[in-house]
Each structure stands twice: as structure tokens, then as C-alpha cells.
Amino acid sequence: MNTPKTEKSALRRLPVNVWVLTLTSFLTDVSSEMLTNLIPLFLLNVLGVRTSVVGLIDGIAETTASILKLYSGVLADRLGKGKALTVIGYAISALSKPFLYFANSWGLVLAVRFSDRLGKGIRTSPRDALLAGSVPADRRGLAFGLHRAGDTAGAFVGLSIATYIIWVTQAKAVDLTKLTFQRLVLASIIPAFLGVIILALGAREVATASKGIASPRLTWAGADKRFKFFLLAVILFTLGNSSDSFIILRGQERGLNVIQLMGMSLTFNAVYALLSSPAGSLSDRIGRRALVLTGWLIYGIIYIGFALAHTGAQIWVLFAFYGIYYALTEGTARALIADLVPASQRGTAYGIFYASVGFAALPASIIAGVLWQGIGGWTGFGPSAPFLFGALLSLLAGLVFMFYVR
């Protein structure tokens, strides 16, 4: 068993690429999280749209990102240019954010979210392949865990800045105002561009054996059966894992004001950031499978809690525990993919993984919005329904993963 001293030593021995990618993700999330949790409130409180529209926007945005992750992963394997694609993706996202300042309709919000996710789709698979290729297998979980910790620490800082701006601008107002949102957009621009600059100057390309191949060598027929069943489990899970925007809306529906919602998100990100690196290191020692299964079990229990919660305080506490699920699964799942496929096919494998998530993400968020508030003349089942649905599918996904991914 590793001691804190040996874990610190392992952190020091991680290559420069891991630290540069972690810092870039930190700064990008400082920027993104000033806005991400407030976009659903902006749509409802300022633009007056229905939850079904919120689900549509999130679903289209995330599906776009995930489909593009497939092609960017294949391209990274073909060209051996993971760094270049990663820089381009971060730059597109940074360039899209300022346009939210002028948003006066949900269509423009959709366009900006689409562009932001376009950048995410281009960068994520090459970035993960670059990260996986920069470290040996016995420190891969630690590297991905550190990256997730940096990403989430950025979210915590971004939310802290956003909370301060909201407090100064509108004090204890329940609903978000347009002026506050515009100030947050302006504040988000600097860290976004700073992250792109650091990545462009600090990261180093990692060569792979697949550079220059004519087509991706990872095919569905030739893929490891464990990888196939892992994808099936992830698709089932994602169909019930609607956008976290619905948790924010659930908190507001249970009585939390904007400042309290930001505090709730801060608590979540603090838990996520503190546990991600230790969880990644733990996966190196005991295996990825146990952590993913534990995380999905925790997710199902928490989603049942979201469905049954009576007060905003209960939503807040549950959201804090939700950070444990993220810490156990996000980095671990990415490290698991690198374990299941050869190094020359990792970009493609990550692309297939993210595309699978994306195809499930669109119906997941639309289903959640319709279950909550209905569509057309149908009123839906109410705020609890999306969370009960998510808990059920997490159980099914866990069973597939447990029996077929050995």
C-alpha cells in the first residue's frame, strides 16, 4: 500500500505534459464554471424557456461534442498530432464564450453552447491520448486523477469568483439577472485564453506507432470484448444521466436562491477535487473495475435522494456526495480505456467512447426535461421523475459492467 510520502514522490515524477494539461484544464474550468451552472438559470429566469428547451440545448451540445471526439480521436491516431488538435479545440471554446454576452434568445445560447462543445469535441480524445501516452501504465490512474483534480479545482475557483460577482451584483435575489450574467461572461474570458497559451507553449507531442496509417485500426469487430461491454454499460448509464443542469433546477425548485445554488456547486467541486487524485491512485492499486462499480452504486443512491428530497438543504448535501461519484469514476473510466486497447489505438478508442456517450446524452437530457415538465399538452410526472429514471438505469448499467467487464 502506498503511503502519502510515496504518493508525493510519484506526483513529482509525473512528466511535464501531465502538469501542463492539468493547468490548462484548471484555467479552462475557471472560465467555464463561471457560466455553466448559471446557463440553465439564465434560460429559465431571464429568457423564460421551459425545462424541455434546457434539456434540448444541453443534449445537442453534449452530443455534438461526443460525436466530434470520435473523429478527432481517429485523426490524432492517424497524424500523431494530439497536441495540435488539443490546442485548436481549447482555442475554439475560448473564442465562443464572449458571444454569450449578447445572448437574447435561447437560439443564440444554443449556438454558443454548440461552438463551445465543438471545441471540446475536437480536443478531448487527443488530449486523453496525449495524457495516457505520457505516463507508464502503473501511474496512469494517478495522472488521470490529478488531471481531474486540476479540472475540478478550476471549477471550484470559477464558482467562487462567480458567487462573489453575484453577491456584489444582486445580493440575495432568488432569480439570476441579465446584468449579473453579462458580468460573469466578461470575467470568464481571461482564464480561457490564458489556458490556451500555456498549452500551446508548454506541452510536448507524444509520438505513437500509428502515425500515418490510412485508417483507424481499432474496429468494432476487432475490439476487445471487455471494451464492447464497457461501452454498452456506459450507454445504458448515460441514458439515465441527464445534464447536471437538472440538479441545479431541482435545487431552485426546492427553495435555494442563486447564491445558495452557487454554494451547493462549490461544495460539490471541493469534494470532487479533493478525492479525484487519491481515487486515481487507488485505481492503480486495486483496479479500475471496483471503483467504477462503487461510483455507479453511489450515483444511483444519490439520484433516489434527489427524487425524494423535500428541502433545498437536502439537495445541497446530496450534491456534495455526488462529488464522490465523480471522483471515483471520471478519471478511472478514462484510465480503464487505456488499459483495454493498444497505445496506437487509444485516440480512436477514446473517440468511440465519447461518441457512445454523446449519442445517449441527447435523448437523456430531452427525456429528463419531458419527464419533469411534459411536452405539448402533457404535464409530465414532476421533478422527481428524471432522477428515479436515472437511478434505475444506473442499476442496469452496473449489472452489465459487473458480469461482462472482467
pLDDT tens digits, residue range 272-298?
A: 888 988 888 888 888 888 899 999 999
User: Binning pLDDT at 50, 70 and 90, where does residue 375 land?
Assistant: low
Report DSSP letters for 256-295, one per residue. Answer: --HHHHHHHHHHHHHHHHHHHHHHHHHHHHH-HHHHHHHH
Cα–Cα distance, 161 to 159 (Å, whole number): 5
Whole-number Å distance between alpha carbons of 109 and 207? 38
How many residues make up the chain in this entry? 406
pLDDT digits (tens, 9 = 90+) for 325-369: 999 998 888 888 888 887 777 777 887 888 888 788 778 888 888
3-state DSSP call for residue 199?
helix
CB 122 within 8 A of CB 68: yes
| Residue 16 grid cell | 511535464
CB 94 within 8 A of CB 193: yes
pLDDT tens, 115-142?
Answer: 998 898 889 888 888 888 888 877 888 8
Eight-class DSSP state of 383 = T
Specify the CATH architecture of the domain 16-207+219-404.
Up-down Bundle (1.20)
Sign of the dihedral defined by the CA atoms of residues 291, 322, 196, 354, in that order: positive
Q: Whole-angstrom Cα distance, residue 23 to residue 35?
A: 19
**How many Å apart are CA 61 and CA 100, to the nearest integer?**
15
Contacts of 192 by beta carbon, 8 Å cutoff, 6+ apart = 27, 28, 31, 32, 93, 94, 97
Please give the average per-residue pLDDT across 235-243, as a whole number: 90
Contact in structure between 169 and 261 (CB atoms under 8 Å): no
Task: Confirm if 382 and 51 have CB atoms less than 8 A apart.
Answer: no
Provide the pLDDT for residue 3.
Answer: 52
Q: What pLDDT does residue 195 have?
A: 94
CA 265 to chain centre: 14
Q: What is the identity of the amino acid at 385?
A: A
Q: Do the beta carbons of residue 27 and residue 152 sit within 8 Å?
A: no
Dihedral pair phi/psi, residue 310, rounded to 5° = -105, -20
CA angle 280, 394, 43 (to 5 degrees): 90
Per-residue pLDDT band for 214 (boundaries 50, 70, 90) equals very low
Give whichever of 23-27, 165-169, 207-211, 241-245 has the largest mean pLDDT. 23-27
Q: Is the pLDDT of residue 228 over 70?
A: yes
Nearest-CA neighbor of 124 among 71, 166, 48, 172? Answer: 71
**pLDDT (0 to 100) of residue 212:** 47
**Which cell goes with 344?**
496506437
The average confidence (pLDDT) of the chain is: 84
6 Cβ contact partners less than 8 Å away, ≥ 6 residues apart: none
Find the angle CA(148)-CA(65)-CA(336) to the nearest 5 degrees.
45
